[in-house]
């Protein structure tokens, strides 16, 4: 039917602009300003995102590009997230506006060398009162997942931020994630911005639930990494108390508090086992004091594979229990257990070493041999390589890495008290290296006793972990203490083994450990402090640390 142009209004051309409300509902928008017709009729807030077309900077200024990108975060079509995340579809409007640039950011193997943080990332209106999927694009949240989550994977994976479970996350968890992510950001002031909001988890007004346990575990790790040992201990003990009060060690807790969401259920399982691991590790650093959860009965299922968990897809929950892990650890069971299971096994053996070292029994030789064999066997059973869940190259994932790290530390703690090298008169006490020593020195020898040989071998293998492909700066902050132990053992060995060839090898490992501590020290203050103390110790002994 022909339209009479003289008697009718001209047809409105389709608008290339649409408000956020219409975009999210997949509705046509007439783009009326300041409120479109649909929003006016439904009395809904109407908001537009300024177009970036034609505003690309000629000089490619990275700060300007970040500012441009920040304004695009909230323009993502939320209903299209599942397809968008998997890369199966890419809306042409997103290509036109430049939002396609964000697709690689979900692969956290990408290096986020962010020169500056846009102001909008610190105070998005959508994030003031509710957690929305846009939080996944917060630069500091990205840094959290890139640099920390793989080492301590208890929170929901990043892709799950686009699922309904995202809405139940407390604000203080996001603040903790930003606070941790800020440690990898070049602007040091960001850590102070998020420090206070992060520590609100410790407030008495915060609900005593599983999220509070998660927050306290994360802060205990951070406080330890800052050298705040007493604070880390108090927070960790409070987290253990609350977890046991809630029954997180029971099999039913995860299912009852997940609302039927398998990812959240797996997250609760991981929270307890992360608590178990951190409790054991910090106990070892606290002069081998009590590992509280070591004797605590646990019905919680063993976590699933890291690749499956971080995929954000439906998680197949593991039916393996801690009893399966401890009673049926045979060579032919290797494929039954996830890499997280190897990590749990390693810290369990570390707890056995601590128990042994506190024993007042006289005849311990049989127990020593048993634990030594168990540690060596568990290392043999570790997969030689495992596909990194964020890349395609074969390499040890972070859980397998930490299983090795913890096992070698356990061997050091096992053999040092029984080695002649313990008699070295050195001042090596830090919050990482409380190895008992005496003031008597044993003359240098061309050969080492059996325990000293095993001690030095464990230190060699532990130090070698710093040479693996994954960047040291993204390793767990606990790697600081592992490296410090290596430096101490190799420094002592230099005093006991005067053979030039061996001394050169040990000095090279000392330099490797000190260099890795330098890298970690850029993010975590404890690594910087410990490194300075170890260099001073090294120099006091008349050795040169280049």
pLDDT digits (tens, 9 = 90+) for 383-411: 765 544 444 455 678 999 999 999 999 99
| Domain membership flag for residue 167 | yes
Neighbours of 190 (CB within 10 A): 22
Confirm whether 331 is domain-assigned. Answer: no
Instruction: Quote the pLDDT of residue 257.
Output: 95
Residue 387 phi/psi, 5-degree rounding, is -65, 125
pLDDT at position 444? 52
pLDDT at 127: 38
The pLDDT, as a whole number, for residue 65 is 40
Is 142 inside a domain boundary? yes
CB neighbourhood size of 248 (10 A): 24
> Rounded to whole angstroms, how far apart are CA atoms 179 and 153?
16
Report if residue 8 sits inside a domain.
no
Separation of alpha carbons 305 and 316, rounded Å: 9
Q: How many domains does the chain have?
A: 1
Taking CA atoms, 95 is separated from 52, 53, 90, 101, 427, in Å, by: 12, 11, 7, 8, 61
- The closest alpha carbon to 488, from 442, 418, 543, belongs to 543
Residue 475 in domain? no
Kindly tell me the number of DSSP H helices and DSSP E strands found in the chain.
23, 2
The C-alpha atoms of residue 539 and residue 545 are separated, in whole angstroms, by 7
Do the domain assignments include residue 209? yes
Give the per-residue pLDDT at 532: 92
Asked, for residue 451, whether it belongs to a domain, the answer is no
Q: What is the pLDDT of residue 329?
A: 52
Q: What is the pLDDT of residue 110?
A: 34
The closest of 354, 341, 407 to 380, measured between CA atoms, is 407
User: Residue 545: helix, strand or coil by DSSP?
Assistant: coil
In terms of Cα–Cα distance, which of 491, 478, 486 is closest to 520?
478
Residue 136 near residue 158 (C-beta atoms within 8 A): yes
Write out the chain's pLDDT in tens, 546 residues: 444 444 444 444 444 577 777 766 667 788 887 788 887 777 677 777 654 444 444 444 444 443 433 333 333 333 332 332 233 333 333 323 333 322 233 333 333 333 344 333 444 333 344 566 688 889 999 999 999 999 999 999 999 988 888 888 999 999 999 999 999 999 888 999 999 999 999 999 999 999 999 999 999 999 999 999 999 999 999 999 999 999 999 999 999 999 989 999 999 999 999 999 999 999 998 865 678 999 999 999 999 989 889 887 656 777 888 888 777 555 454 457 889 999 999 999 999 999 999 888 888 999 999 999 999 999 998 876 554 444 445 567 899 999 999 999 999 999 998 888 876 656 666 778 766 554 445 555 557 789 999 999 999 999 999 999 889 999 999 999 999 999 999 988 887 777 777 888 888 999 999 999 999 999 999 999 999 999 888 887 766 444
Main-chain phi, psi angles of 395, to 5 degrees: -165, 165
CB 412 within 8 A of CB 489: yes
Residue for token digits 């505003």? 55
**Two structure tokens written together for 113:** 């060398």
Domain hosting residue 302, numbered range: 136-321
State the pLDDT at residue 166: 83
What pLDDT does residue 7 have? 42
In a domain, 255, yes or no: yes
């Amino acid at each position: 039917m022909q339209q009479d142009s003289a008697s009718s209004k001209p047809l409105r051309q389709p608008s290339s602009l649409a408000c956020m409300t219409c975009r999210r509902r997949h509705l046509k928008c007439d783009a009326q300003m300041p409120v479109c017709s649909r929003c006016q009729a439904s009395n809904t807030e109407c908001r537009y995102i300024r177009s970036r077309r034609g505003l690309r900077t000629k000089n490619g200024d990275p700060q300007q590009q970040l500012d441009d990108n920040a304004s695009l975060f909230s323009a993502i079509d939320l209903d299209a997230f599942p397809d968008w995340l998997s890369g199966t579809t890419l809306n042409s409007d997103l290509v036109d506006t430049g939002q396609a640039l964000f697709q690689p950011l979900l692969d956290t193997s990408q290096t986020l060398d962010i020169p500056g943080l846009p102001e909008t990332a610190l105070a998005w209106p959508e994030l003031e009162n509710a957690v929305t999927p846009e939080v996944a694009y917060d630069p500091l949240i990205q840094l959290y997942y890139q640099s920390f989550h793989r080492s301590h994977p208890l929170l929901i994976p990043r892709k799950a931020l686009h699922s309904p479970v995202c809405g139940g996350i407390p604000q203080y968890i996001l603040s903790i994630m930003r606070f941790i992510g800020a440690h990898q950001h070049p602007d040091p002031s960001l850590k102070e911005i998020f420090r206070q909001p992060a520590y609100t988890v410790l407030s008495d007004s915060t609900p005593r639930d599983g999220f509070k346990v998660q927050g306290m575990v994360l802060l205990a790790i951070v406080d330890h990494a800052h050298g705040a040992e007493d604070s880390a201990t108090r927070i960790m003990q409070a987290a253990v108390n609350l977890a046991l009060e809630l029954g997180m060690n029971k099999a039913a807790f995860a299912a009852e508090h997940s609302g039927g969401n398998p990812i959240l259920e797996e997250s609760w399982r991981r929270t307890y086992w992360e608590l178990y691991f951190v409790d054991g590790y910090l106990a070892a650093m606290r002069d081998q004091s009590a590992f509280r959860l070591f004797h605590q009965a646990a019905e919680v299922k063993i976590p699933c594979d890291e690749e499956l968990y971080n995929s954000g897809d439906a998680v197949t929950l593991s039916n393996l229990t801690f009893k399966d892990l401890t009673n049926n650890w045979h060579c032919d069971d290797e494929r039954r257990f996830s890499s997280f299971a190897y990590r749990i096994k390693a810290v369990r053996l570390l707890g056995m070493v601590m128990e042994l070292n506190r024993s007042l029994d006289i005849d311990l030789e049989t127990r020593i041999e048993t634990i030594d064999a168990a540690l060596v066997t568990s290392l043999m059973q570790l997969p030689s390589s495992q596909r990194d869940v964020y890349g395609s190259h074969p390499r040890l994932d972070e859980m397998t890495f930490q299983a090795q790290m913890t096992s070698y530390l356990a061997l050091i703690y096992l053999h040092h008290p029984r080695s002649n090298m313990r008699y070295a008169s050195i001042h090596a006490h830090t919050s990482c290296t409380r190895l008992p020593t005496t003031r008597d020195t044993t003359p240098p020898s061309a050969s080492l006793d059996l325990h000293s040989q095993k001690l030095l071998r464990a230190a060699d293998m532990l130090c070698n972990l710093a040479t693996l492909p994954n960047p040291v700066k993204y390793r767990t902050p606990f790697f600081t203490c592992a490296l410090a132990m290596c430096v101490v053992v190799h420094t002592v060995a230099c005093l006991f083994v005067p053979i030039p060839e061996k001394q050169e090898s040990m000095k090279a490992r000392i330099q490797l450990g000190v260099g890795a501590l330098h890298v970690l020290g850029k993010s975590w203050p404890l690594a910087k402090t410990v490194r300075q103390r170890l260099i001073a110790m090294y120099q006091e002994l008349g050795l040169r640390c280049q």
